[in-house]
């Protein structure tokens, strides 16, 4: 895998903030225009500014997003109906609402997103640099999903799904990205592993091969699993889990 200077590539500030779950790009534009964002301690209010993650420091309301004094990484088993953003203009519950007891005096944000109808593993952190690396497709952090679909999955459909899961240039000699766990009378259960977090990717893949997703759950992010964590519960990562996660993103 080519990891050439990922942290020295310039990126638009609004995109960087959106990747950290601060909000949509439009919401981040509004945040920048309001003068609440600082880059290297200088206030920025111009849309289109570029920064280099890990080189430039970004603050919102004078709270740093990189290298926080006490880094926190949480694992949440997200339930249905909860949005994976810092705030929601429609007033729907957010992942931060479920983490209030850990978020006191900390600016936490989700590592990537799960759509409102998907449950399962989502990480939250106050470490912007770690979040950026975990969400950057070049690091190929695996995400594992269990998918219940309407209809039977034959070998042809399974091969098409598997092909869609492969990172660019990694088609040969890799582990299967789509596996049939169980075929039921009218439904099938699949295990799908992705290496980037594109919006509604699993649902769109299944739609392409004529399968309708009935239930979607992410059971693993990198080396971190939701095993034994009840739906709606949250916990800090254990020391060994955090070390494995950082090694994977280094």
Query: For 41-50, 74-83, 232-241, which range has the lowest pLDDT when averaged over its residues?
Result: 41-50
What gap in Å lies between CA 11 and CA 15, rounded to an integer?
Answer: 7
| Mean pLDDT (the chain, rounded) | 87
Q: What's the CA angle centered on 195, arms 192 and 197, to 5 degrees?
A: 90
95 pLDDT tier (thresholds 50, 70, 90): very high
pTM, to two decimals: 0.79
- Greater confidence (127 vs 210) lies with 210
| Residue 127 bears catalytic tag | no
Indicate if the pLDDT at residue 63 is higher than 70. Answer: yes
Please provide the CATH number assigned to the domain covering 6-137.
3.30.70.580
Cα gap 75→98, rounded to integer Å: 11
- State the helix-helix crossing angle for 128-135 and 239-248, rounded to 10 degrees: 60
Under the banding of pLDDT at 50, 70 and 90, the label for residue 2 is very low
Task: Let me know how long the chain is.
Answer: 250
Q: Which of 131, 126, 115 is nearest to 59 (CA)?
A: 126
> Could you give the residue range(s) of every CATH 3.30.70.1560 domain in the chain?
142-221
CB-count exposure of residue 138 (10 Å: 0-12, 13-18, 19+): middle
pLDDT tens string 142-190? 999 999 999 889 999 999 999 999 876 665 557 789 999 998 778 999 9
Please give the pLDDT value at position 161: 95
CB 41 within 8 A of CB 64: no
DSSP 62-120: TEESSS-SS--EEEEEEPTT-BSSS--TT---BGGGGGGGG-TT---EESS---TT-EE
Strands 73-78 and 119-125, sheet pairing: antiparallel
Which pLDDT belongs to residue 133? 85
Alpha helices in 93-200 (DSSP H): 128-135, 155-165
User: Which has more confidence, 105 or 15?
Assistant: 15
Residues 195 and 221: their CA atoms lie apart, in Å, by 10
Task: Check if the beta carbon of residue 126 is closer than 8 Å to that of residue 68.
Answer: yes
Q: What per-residue confidence (pLDDT) applies to 69?
A: 64
Which entry of 30, 115, 127, 154 is annotated as an active-site residue? 115
Domain with CATH 3.30.70.580 in the chain: 6-137
Structural contact between residues 192 and 147, judged by C-beta atoms closer than 8 angstroms:
yes
**pLDDT score, position 225:** 96
Cβ-proximal residues to 220 (8 Å cutoff; 6+ apart), any chain: 121, 142, 143, 144, 226
Q: Across residues 127-147, what is the average pLDDT?
A: 88
When comparing pLDDT for 97 and 21, which is higher? 97
Fold of 142-221: Alpha-Beta Plaits (3.30.70)
pLDDT at position 152 is: 85
């Amino acid at each position: 895998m080519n990891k050439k200077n990922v942290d020295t590539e310039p990126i638009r500030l609004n995109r960087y903030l959106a990747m950290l779950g601060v909000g949509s790009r439009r919401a981040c534009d509004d945040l920048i225009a309001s003068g609440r964002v600082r880059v290297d301690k200088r206030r920025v209010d111009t849309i289109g500014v570029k920064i280099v993650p890990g080189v430039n420091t970004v603050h919102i309301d004078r709270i740093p997003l990189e290298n926080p004094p006490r880094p926190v990484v949480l694992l949440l088993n997200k339930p249905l109906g909860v949005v994976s953003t810092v705030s929601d203009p429609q007033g729907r519950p957010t992942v931060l609402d479920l983490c209030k007891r850990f978020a006191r005096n900390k600016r936490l944000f989700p590592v990537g997103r799960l759509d409102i109808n998907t449950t399962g593993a989502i990480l939250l952190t106050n470490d912007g640099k770690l979040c950026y690396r975990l969400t950057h497709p070049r690091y190929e952090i695996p995400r594992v999903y269990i998918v219940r679909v309407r209809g039977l999955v034959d070998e042809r459909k399974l091969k098409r799904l598997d092909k869609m899961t492969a990172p660019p240039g990694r088609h040969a000699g890799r582990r299967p990205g789509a596996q049939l766990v169980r075929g039921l009378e009218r439904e099938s259960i699949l295990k799908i592993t992705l290496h980037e977090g594109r919006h509604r990717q699993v649902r769109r893949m299944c739609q392409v091969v004529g399968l309708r997703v009935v239930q979607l759950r992410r059971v693993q992010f990198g080396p971190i699993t939701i095993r034994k964590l009840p739906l709606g519960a949250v916990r800090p990562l254990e020391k060994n889990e955090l070390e494995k996660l950082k090694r994977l993103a280094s």
